Amino acid sequence: MSAPSTQQATPEPLPPYTLRAAVANRRMNRRAWIITSLLVVFQIINFADKAVLGLVAEPAMRELHLTAGQFGFIGSAFFFLFAIAAIGVGFLAGKVPTRWILLVAGISWAILQFPMLFGGGAAILLVTRILLGGAEGPATPITLQHVHGWFPAKERGLPSSMVAIGSTLGPIIAAPILAWVIAHPDLGWRWAFGVLGIVGLLWSAAWFLIGRDGPYSHSATKPGGEFAVDTEPDAGPATAPAAASPAGSTTPAEPAAPAAEPAPAPENLRGSVADISDLLGIVPILRIIGSRMFIVAVLAGAGCFWAQGFLTTWSPKYLSAVVELSPEAIGLVSTFPWVIGALALLVLGYASRFLMRRGVTVRWALGALFGATLLVSGLCFLVLPRVEGPAAVAVLTVGAGLAMIYPLAPTAVAFSVCSRQRAAVMATLTAFASIGGVIAPLMVGLLMDGAGYLPTPKGQPIPAAMIEALTSGMNSAFWMIGIYLLVVGAASVLLLNPDRTARRLQGFTYHG
């Protein structure tokens, strides 16, 4: 009898830049995941900068002698430069490393907070909000572009969702802290701006020291498809041979990024575009914007922004007058949709990564999941007018929370264009989609006015007739957005297809 073999099967190497590989190798790919964590904080600050105006509304209006209309105009002024800046910086990101764009953004956000801390009046508040809107317009597309540069195509769903979760964590983390600062007798509402400025400067300092463009970014790509060096020795389990150091130098060259697996020519590939996403060529931007997929993504994104606009403007009013919750309960319940949104982004990001690693096309692993989630959100808004009390809170939480998944739309679209054009495309998409957030407050207000609603003087109970008018106006809005989300959700399932769009843009026949 032959002796039993002592040889063991060699374990299959795990894909680099994944959490599974990091845990298995006891090496957390520190640079990639630290960058991702910093961008999550960046998005939290981004939301806090938006939310601070609403939190300081009462004391600021009183001290600055502003009417409700004047204060509302200052709030709307935030979007005056939002879309324009998003598009402009998006195109700039194709030529400038995104690490520097993010650094300039962080410093700008911080500096624009301090004029109000140091005694600025209404005019200063107006100007700083306009400039802040311009500085924050490109935030989401640029952060997504940057994090994509740290992960290979099939691994981008999870880190993209984690970065997107930062915006949903804003109300949960930043709002209570800022509310405490405003209520503190030794601080006050002006210090809410000051705290944001200090936090912004601290983040900018950390980013200056740590932030880098990743090995899969357009700025790190050499001619011929080889990745340039922009990582650390512990960034992954496998590295290419070190490049030769310049003559006379004693400093060893940094290792190259993990080599990408050879990909078949795009015209011969029948599988997922994720296999060739980083090899796509530049195409005219108007062809991308005019594609069916881009148009569907804009329309679906507008529905997502509508839900966010409702949450930040009218949700507390709905919970107070219709559901009859106390102020304390409203503060708690208002965070529920954002929690659901964070969980939805995390689950969908992990699911898309799981599916794409098993060969599922981007259309089904990301586009279809995005559309199906919007279908569920639309159904919830359609049901909302028929329920009341705790059931209304639950349905609103799920419906609005599931509409927080907008970042999945630009992530899906990004697969169909080359790395140099991704920021411009995602920024343009975000600029157009953000119109939904501008429409939502005005749309709901007009429907309430049309139903006969009139504000009740402070300190007096809302008459039953006014509650009925308010409910009628909001229910009309829920019906409209519910139907809209059903339509764009179905369209996303059918047409949000980066695999087909990429091949058409590159001039190849789609076989999928």
Closest by Cα among 259, 254, 235 to 244: 254
What is the per-residue DSSP string for 219-232?
A: GGBPTTSPBPP-S-
CB 316 within 8 A of CB 330: yes
d(CA 196, CA 202): 10
248-277 burial: b if 16+ Cβ within 10 Å, else e = eeeeeeebbbbebeeeeebeebeebbbbbb
For residue 221, the cross-strand partners are 227
Architecture of domain 269-455+463-512: Up-down Bundle (1.20)
CB 103 within 8 A of CB 392: no
d(CA 412, CA 358): 17
Per-residue pLDDT at 256: 41
Structure-block tokens of residue 478: 């829920």
Q: How far is CA 68 from the centre of its chain?
A: 30
Per-residue pLDDT at 41: 93
d(CA 496, CA 492): 5
Structure-block tokens of residue 50: 């938006």
Per-residue pLDDT at 19: 53
Region label for 453, one of left (φ > 0), alpha (ψ between -120 and 50) or beta (otherwise): beta
- Tally the residues of the chain: 512
d(CA 485, CA 310): 14
Same fold, 17-224 and 269-455+463-512: yes
d(CA 71, CA 48): 18
For the chain, which ranges sit under pLDDT 50? 1-9, 26-28, 221-269, 509-512
Closest by Cα among 342, 483, 363 to 412: 363
Per-residue pLDDT at 21: 58
Closest by Cα among 57, 79, 14 to 309: 79
Domain ranges for the chain, please list them.
17-224, 269-455+463-512
Segments in 56-81 forming alpha helices (H): 57-64, 68-77
CA distances to 78, 396, 412 from 307, rounded to whole Å, are 18, 10, 20
d(CA 266, CA 416): 12
CB 254 within 8 A of CB 496: no
Which superfamily does CATH assign the domain made up of 17-224 to? MFS general substrate transporter like domains (1.20.1250.20)
d(CA 171, CA 164): 13
Residue 368: count of CB within 10 angstroms of its CB: 21
